[in-house]
Structures are given as structure tokens and as C-alpha cells.
Amino acid sequence: MRNGNRLYLVIGALVVIVIGLGAYILHEESKPEGIEMSIGQNGVSIEQK
């Protein structure tokens, strides 16, 4: 593989990582604040967020 192709591969990977990290952070910050309730095998669980 030539050095030019390798450079494009590294830059492309970095762009994908930055976009993925940005999407993850945006998703985490947009979660609603308040109380989370869930019902499972151990009964009802209530968590304050």
C-alpha cells in the first residue's frame, strides 16, 4: 500500500471516529432528566436521574 493511500485511510478512520463520538455525546446529552421507572424480574425499580 502506498503512503498516500495509507494517509487517506487514517484520515477516513479519524473522521468516522469523530462523527461517531459526536453522535454518542449528542444522544447522551439529549436524554430526559427526571425519574426512570422499570419493571423487571426483581420488581419495580425507580431511579432519579
Amino acid at 12: G
pLDDT per residue of the chain (49 residues) written in tens, 0 to 9: 677 789 999 999 999 999 999 999 998 888 777 888 888 888 888 887 6
- pLDDT for the residue 25: 92
pTM above 0.85, yes or no: no
Under a CB-based contact definition with an 8 Å cutoff, are residues 33 and 47 in contact?
A: no
Listed in sequence order, the residues at least 6 apart from 35 whose beta carbon sits closer than 8 Å to its beta carbon are 46, 47, 48, 49
Q: 36 to each of 20, 33, 39, 45, how far by Cα in Å? A: 26, 9, 10, 8
- pLDDT for the residue 20: 96
